[in-house]
Amino acid sequence: MTDMTSPAGTGPAFAVEMRDVSKVFGETTVLDRISFDIRPGEFVTFLGPSGCGKTTSLRILAGFEQATSGDVRINGQSVSDMPPWHRDIGIVFQSYALFPYMTARDNVGFGLKMRRVPKAEMAKRVEEALKLVGLSGLGDRYPRQLSGGQRQRVALARALVIKPQLLLLDEPLSNLDAKLRNEMRYELKRIQRESGITTVFVTHDQEEAFSLSDRIVLMSKGEIKQAGTSREIWEKPRTGFVADFIGVDNLLPGAVEKDGDELVVRISPSVTLKTEICDFAPGSAVLVAVRAKDVILNPVADETATGLNVFAGNIIDVEYRGERCACRVRCEGIDQTLVALVASSHVPSGAVTLSFASDAVMVLTDDR
């Protein structure tokens, strides 16, 4: 296919294309017809739980693993037969994979040496890269003399220093403490924006994915569940799995019913929920998702409270979450407890009334 390029000399339209890529190990399908494109300069994150196929996808892009079927293109060129060292890729492995017998400095400089970059320039670029990741002064140490977080940063510097056309990062911040992780996140984003290197980042941490990415590819069991910007995924999770993974607190299994002209979701023999949008036919089994922030907690028991999506209940637990607290409430007629957020300065107790607007009720497929 030669029609994948953009008009007149602007280069390929996509830096990376994966078409129906599958990977089978023995009997197990680890990737099941994955398809997506990455535009030049984009920061894309593969997000998903452990074992969903993130590292395998990255290894296929890097050329360390062959797809069982499907096509992978980098800069418009099919790479099925191209070995890793011809792909101009910087990679940070989940396990860092530093050379143990080389100092941090030599590890970082390795790719430049292979590319026969002159010594003086090499030394300069290596020091810059070490500085960038906050390791100035530690260049003479061997990996065994560095902490896990420091090794991770050497690996990051080693990938960045060659200024590759594609940067693949497999959980590169996982071993850093919270403060350093935030700093490195910011640095990584800045470096990526400034250099314009197309980047594929892997993490199972949704907060990290949301804060860094132009686009997120959310995976589960070798399939893409949803791909979109952080905002798109946050505001409109497409399935129950997505809602669950991004941390929507209230997930209630139910069935769609007709109530006059409207569709409602029955979540128990005595309770139905009103919703604005329901794309399912009556009788469908669904999952209702309501964010804790959308649940209004009235700190008084209102016995007269009627109407849809209004429930009398009792607070049974309070979880401190910083500025806010999550109150877990047992409501009449609902098996599961519901979670509502309140300001930590005013945490109620005992009998309360919960309510939420019908447009806060998301009706989704239950694919968890």
Ligand X SMILES: Nc1ncnc2c1ncn2[C@@H]1O[C@H](COP(=O)(O)OP(=O)(O)OP(=O)(O)O)[C@@H](O)[C@H]1O
The footprint of Mg ion (CB under 5 A) covers: 55, 94
Helices (H), 230-318: 230-235, 240-245
Residue 225 in contact with ligand X, rule: CB under 6 A: no
Strand partners, 21: 34
Biggest alpha carbon distance in the chain?
81
What string of DSSP letters covers 124-185?
Answer: HHHHHHHHHTT-TT-TT--GGGS-HHHHHHHHHHHHHHT--SEEEEESTTTTS-HHHHHHHH
Give the alpha-carbon dihedral of 243, 248, 249, 254, to 10 degrees.
Answer: -40
233 or 265, CB closer to ligand X?
233
Residue 355 in contact with ligand X, rule: CB under 6 A: no
DSSP at 293: G
Helices (H), the chain: 54-62, 104-114, 119-132, 148-161, 178-195, 206-212, 230-235, 240-245
- Number of chain positions touching ligand X (CB under 6 A): 12
The stretch among 49-57, 123-131, 178-186, 208-216 that binds ligand X (CB under 6 A) is: 49-57
In the list 45, 56, 150, 239, the residue contacting ligand X (rule: CB under 6 A) is 56
Q: Spell out a b/e string for 340-367, using b for 16 or more CB atoms within 10 Å of the CB, else e.
A: bbbeeeeebeeebbbbbeeebbbbbbbe
52 or 354, CB closer to ligand X?
52
String marking each residue 15-44 x if it binds ligand X according to CB under 6 A: ----------x----x--------------
String marking each residue 194-223 x if it binds ligand X according to CB under 6 A: ----------x-------------------
String marking each residue 93-112 x if it binds ligand X according to CB under 6 A: -x------------------
13 or 24, CB closer to ligand X?
24
- Please give the radius of gyration of the chain, using alpha carbons only, rounded to the nearest integer: 25
45 or 55, CB closer to ligand X?
55
Residue 52 in contact with ligand X, rule: CB under 6 A: yes
94 or 284, CB closer to Mg ion?
94
Residue 51 in contact with ligand X, rule: CB under 6 A: yes
Please, what is the minimum distance in Å from the beta carbon of residue 13 to Mg ion?
A: 29
Contact positions vs ligand X (CB under 6 A): 25, 30, 48, 50-56, 94, 204
